[in-house]
Chains A and B, each alone.
Chain A
Amino acid sequence: MRKRIAILLAALLFLVLASISLRVGAVPVPLRELWASLTLQDSPASYIVLQYRLPRVIVAALAGFGLAVAGVILQSVIRNPLASPDVIGITKGAGFTAAIVIFLFPGAPSYVLPAAAFTGAVGALLILVLLSRKMTLPPSSFALVGVAVGAVFQAGIQYLLVKHPSDVNMALLWMSGSLWGRGWDHVRLLLPWIAVLLPVAWLGYAKLNVLQLGDEGSAALGLNVPKQRLLLLLIAIGLTGSSVAAVGSIGFIGLIAPHMARLLVGGRHQWLLPLAALIGADLMLIGDIAGRVLIIPREVPVGITTAVIGAPYFIYLLRRERLKAA
């Protein structure tokens, strides 16, 4: 019962945030105009609502779903509550290829950047899988290898940043994650991935529940652990790669949303996955709303606002874990 309420509340919050997000910004839209635009009546706010804010809200939500669910999957596959696409270096891989495009091929058409980011995310996973002896490495080592791979990518990113001082800002904006200017193109880019992979991930909840128990337990229950782990990782990478391709390498959503969800509904994935997804989207929207209203007419990139919002919670979380361990 409590689990249903939690999910319901998160969904409700999502709707509230989405409507706030459509309403506020550099140009506030009165509710009446908002309604008129949404029902496709003629309104002076039509462009802002339908062409600018609505796709942005949808992209934020989809990316929030994707990153949060990827975080849940990674945390149970790696069996470590601190794993996330960010921490194990996947977003750094995407960041590195994106930086190559931004710095070395500044004239590339605009669809190259997301494609490169996706490739980078997949490449990072590939390297990880190779280095982890075909997934037979224990999950904790796997996470550390990920951290190290991420650090090497980071060095590459930094080299490019240092050598091209005039483009630093563009690259940093992309790398911290930004929803600026995300339109229907990005919705079309992101929607198929999320629409397919989210249900697939949910259908895998039983496996995720089992994997959480540990390698021996999972094997005893007849699970081919390395294979399942790889499959689930592929789902996570599809979600992360597509989200990152659309909005840049936003951190923390994939780390924090699963935690909040776990705190509310516990570790059973049939509940955890949908709630984490909704919380992920909620966080993205809160971050985006804050980013758009704090320093009008400029914007704070959503990756920064979500980090600021997430930081205190994250530290609280670590403290709590520590108390539990002691």
Chain B
Amino acid sequence: MRETSPYKPVKQKRQALLLFLFAFLALALGFFGNLKWGQAHVSLLTLYEAVTFQGEDKAHLYIQTLRLPRTITAAIVGVHLALAGLLTQLATRNPLASPHIFGINAGASLAVVSGLVLVDGLSLFGSVAFAFAGASLGALLVWALAGSQQQKQYVRLALAGIAVHFLLSSLTEGMIILNQHSTDSMMFWLVGSTSEAAWDDVAALLPFTAAGLAALTAMIPSFRLLILDDAVAAGLGGRVALVRSVAVLLVIALSGSAVAICGPIGFLCLIVPHIARYLIGEKLTLLVPLTALLGACLLIYADLISKFIAFPFESPVGIVTAAIGGPFFIYLARKQRRNAA
């Protein structure tokens, strides 16, 4: 079934090693940049003192209580979203698939906004629960539509997803319009933002990260089934369906938790798997960690950029990822003609 992959074959071992090294370096640099630059000036010395937990000045606290958890959250959410994107693309065998395009984000947004309207003083836990309910709803909708995947349906499915996305967002807009006094502030969150992330949020995310990564690692051999030929896969019918459902559950866990904390950050989940595949090829044992790493990298840099778009005021990071991801999506769409007409 698969046409010759547009991506390069697996590289030499040493090249792969270099790639990972480079990605790590970039991540570290991004981490440093996010801690160093923000609304308030922080000197290098203060930064060093802060991360070694000496000093109780304002500047130290900025780093310890705001920038550090925020950066860690951005990295984790980046990992979640990138892996969720990769899994979606594997499970649907659709290069255009992503939680964002498939209405999962929009479902979670709708649920959280509804929660805010219906429940007074919604707690962090409450909004996580609502986000999960919504994400599952969106995923359910899409998978109900995605059932049997054939090559030709790439585009149809992507368009269906976008239409579901629009539908859910217009319902969200309706909620906001009709409850303006409690919800007009939701806009910032609705675009996706890490700016309010605190240690609580890191703590809320980590279990999902740990469980998700563990499950993912354990399942890598099985996920290979998802990139098999139709003919071969057909012989293993039941297995494939099972693996696919596990992948879907993982997608919901990863993207649902990310959306609950940071709002629906778009496009990251679409583009990172493509970049990773372009760099390292299809071999899952390499592709999965690189995707995770690049996801963290991209979101951290996007977060850094978002601080400076309207300095000193914050802008939601979702705008940055959309600005990067939109053109990339256009590139993908234009390339699409080789694969499916």
Contact partners of A161 in chain B: CB under 8 A? 187, 191
Q: Does any Cβ of B come within 8 Å of A43's Cβ?
A: no
Q: Report yes or no: B187 in contact with A165, Cβ–Cβ below 8 A.
A: yes
B167 near A307 with CB under 8 A, answer yes
Q: Chain A contact residues: over half helix, strand or loop, or mixed?
A: helix
Partner of B326, one of A149, A252, A311: A149
- Say whether, besides A255-B163, A322-B148, A325-B153, A162 and B323 are in contact (CB < 8 Å): no
Pair A140/B341 contact, Cβ less than 8 Å:
yes
Closest B residue to A294 using CB positions: B178
Task: Known A145-B334, A303-B170; judge A162-B316 contact (CB<8 A).
Answer: yes
- Among A288-326, those with CB < 8 Å from B are 295, 298, 300-301, 303-304, 307-308, 310-311, 314-315, 318-319, 321-322, 325-326
Taking a contact as CB atoms under 8 Å apart, the answer to whether A152 and B316 are in contact is no
In the complex, the answer to whether A168 meets B187 with C-beta atoms within 8 Å is yes
Alpha-carbon distance A163/B148, docked complex (angstroms): 43
Name which residue of chain A comes closest to B322, CB basis: A155
Check A176 against B173 for contact (C-beta < 8 Å).
yes
Residue A143 is within 8 A (CB to CB) of chain B in the complex: yes
Asked whether, in the complex, the Cβ of A308 is within 8 Å of the Cβ of B155, the reply is: no
Within 8 A of B (CB), among A153-206: 154-155, 158-159, 161-163, 165, 168-169, 172-173, 175-176
* B173:A143 contact, CB within 8 angstroms: no
Which of A4-12, A57-65, A81-89, A108-116 is near enough to bind chain B? A81-89
Residue pair B167, A148 in contact (C-beta under 8 Å): no
Looking at the assembled complex, report how far the CB atom of A59 sits from the nearest CB atom of chain B, in whole angstroms: 20
**A251 adjacent to chain B (CB < 8 Å):** yes
> A148, A162, A322: which contacts B333 (Cβ < 8 A)?
A148
A131 at the interface (CB under 8 A from B): yes
Q: Does B166 contact A (CB under 8 A)?
A: yes
B176 at the A/B interface (Cβ < 8 Å)?
Answer: yes
B107 located at the interface, meaning its Cβ lies under 8 Å from any Cβ of chain A in the complex: no
Q: Are A151 and B185 in contact (CB under 8 A)?
A: no
The B contact surface, by secondary structure, is helix
Tell me the smallest distance from the CB of B90 to a CB of chain A, in Å: 20
Given A176-B177, A300-B178, also A158-B163 (CB < 8 A): no
By the criterion CB–CB under 8 Å, are A140 and B177 in contact? Answer: no
Contact among B150, B167, B171, B340 with A314 in the assembled complex (CB-CB below 8 Å): B167
Please give me the residue from chain A that is nearest to B144 by CB atom: A319
User: Which residues of chain B from 294 to 341 have any CB-CB distance to chain A below 8 Å in the complex?
Assistant: 309-310, 313, 315-316, 318-319, 322-323, 325-327, 329-330, 332-334, 336-337, 340-341
Which residues of the other chain, B, contact A31 by a CB distance below 8 angstroms? none
Q: Which residues of A contact B41 (CB under 8 A)?
A: none
B313: nearest chain-A partner, CB-CB: A163
Tell me, in angstroms, the Cα distance from A147 to B163 when the chains sit together: 10
Determine how close the nearest CB of chain A comes to the CB of B138; give it in whole angstroms: 12
Taking CB atoms, residues of chain B closer than 8 Å to A315 are 141, 164
Complex CA gap A252/B162 in Å reads: 12
A152 touches B191 (CB 8 A): no
Q: Judge whether A80 is part of the interface by a CB distance below 8 angstroms.
A: yes
Residues of B within 8 A of A318 (CB): 144-145, 160
Please measure, in the bound complex, the distance between the C-alpha atom of A319 and the C-alpha atom of B160, giving whole angstroms.
11
Using Cβ atoms and an 8 Å threshold, which residues of chain A touch B330? Answer: 131, 145, 148-149
Q: Decide if A141 is an interface residue (CB 8 Å cutoff).
A: yes
By size class, the interface of chain B is 35 or more
Residue B184 lies at the interface, judged by CB distance under 8 Å to chain A: yes
Is the beta-carbon distance between B323 and A307 smaller than 8 angstroms? no
Q: How far is the CB of A211 from chain B (nearest CB, A)?
A: 15
Q: Pick the contact of B171 from A140, A149, A308 — CB < 8 Å?
A: A308
Known: A86-B166, A152-B322, A307-B167. A158 touches B174 (CB 8 A): no
In the complex, whether B159 has a CB less than 8 A from a CB of chain A is yes
Q: Is A137 located at the chain interface by the 8 A CB criterion?
A: yes
- Tell me if A138 is interfacial: C-beta within 8 Å of chain B: yes
Contact B171 A147 (CB under 8 A): no
Given contacts A165-B187, A304-B173, A314-B167, contact A82 B144 (CB under 8 A): no
**Bound-state Cα–Cα, A83 to B158, Å:** 11
Contacts of A80 in B (CB 8 A): 155-156, 159
Whether B62 sits at the interface, judged by CB under 8 Å, is no
Say yes or no: is A144 at the interface (Cβ < 8 Å to chain B). yes
**B167 & A304 in contact (Cβ 8 Å cutoff):** no
In the assembled complex, the Cα of A143 lies from the Cα of B144 at a distance in Å of 22
Q: Which among A144, A163, A321 has the greatest number of chain B C-beta atoms within 10 A? A: A144
Q: Using Cβ atoms and an 8 Å threshold, which residues of chain B touch A308?
A: 171, 174
Chain A 4-46 against B: per-residue CB contact (8 Å), 1 yes, 0 no?
0000000000000000000000000000000000000000000
B323 close to A155 (CB less than 8 A): yes
A23 to B191, CA, bound (A): 41
- What residues make up the interface of B, taking CB atoms closer than 8 Å to A? 96, 101, 141, 144-148, 150, 153-156, 158-160, 162-164, 166-167, 170-171, 173-174, 176-178, 180, 184-185, 187-188, 190-191, 266-267, 309-310, 313, 315-316, 318-319, 322-323, 325-327, 329-330, 332-334, 336-337, 340-341
Chain A residues with CB under 8 Å of chain B are: 80, 82-84, 86-87, 131-133, 137-138, 140-141, 143-145, 147-149, 151-152, 154-155, 158-159, 161-163, 165, 168-169, 172-173, 175-176, 251-252, 255, 295, 298, 300-301, 303-304, 307-308, 310-311, 314-315, 318-319, 321-322, 325-326
12 CB contacts below 8 A, A to B, read A82-B160, A140-B155, A144-B155, A144-B332, A162-B319, A168-B180, A168-B184, A251-B166, A252-B167, A252-B170, A311-B171, A322-B145
- A144-B96, A300-B178 known; 9 other A-B pairs, CB under 8 Å? A80-B155, A87-B166, A155-B323, A161-B187, A252-B166, A303-B170, A304-B177, A308-B174, A322-B144
Query: 10 tightest CB-CB pairs across the interface, nearest first?
Result: A144-B333, A155-B322, A152-B326, A304-B174, A82-B159, A148-B329, A140-B155, A307-B170, A148-B330, A138-B341
